[in-house]
Amino acid sequence: MNEVYDFMRKPTPDAEMMFDSAAYFVAKHYRISLTEVWNMPISAFEKSFTWAVAAERVKAEEIEKATDGAKSKSRVGSTHGPMPFSEGW
């Protein structure tokens, strides 16, 4: 388990770990088992991996846009001056 954790924290050129990581990514993205991923023809795996990466990238960009938009709209009003429901409001 530590080997997998270490690989996820700092990837290495270990080919087996890279394939395992890619298989896990595809399985997680499509909500299928690792056995189903390993039983895929290589061409199906390549397409699945490519589409999963692209979909995750688009999702990350949309999240970033939404967070940037929310940040620019969330301004704190000034506390200088009368407060609502106080005298002079």
**pLDDT per position as a tens digit, 10-20:** 877 888 889 99
- Closest among 12, 22, 58 to 42, alpha carbons compared: 22
Q: What's the sign of the alpha-carbon dihedral 11, 12, 18, 24?
A: negative
Whether 87 maps to a domain, the answer reads no
Lowest mean pLDDT among 31-45, 46-60, 72-86: 72-86
Q: Considering its fold, how many domains does the chain have in total?
A: 1
Beta strands in the chain (DSSP E): none
Q: What is the pLDDT of residue 38?
A: 96
The arithmetic mean of pLDDT across residues 35-62, rounded, is: 95
What pTM value is reported for the model?
Answer: 0.65
Domain that holds residue 23: 2-71
Taking only the tens place, the pLDDT of each residue in 76-86 is 555 566 666 66
Tell me if 28 sits within 8 A of 8, measured CB to CB. no
Whether 77 maps to a domain, the answer reads no
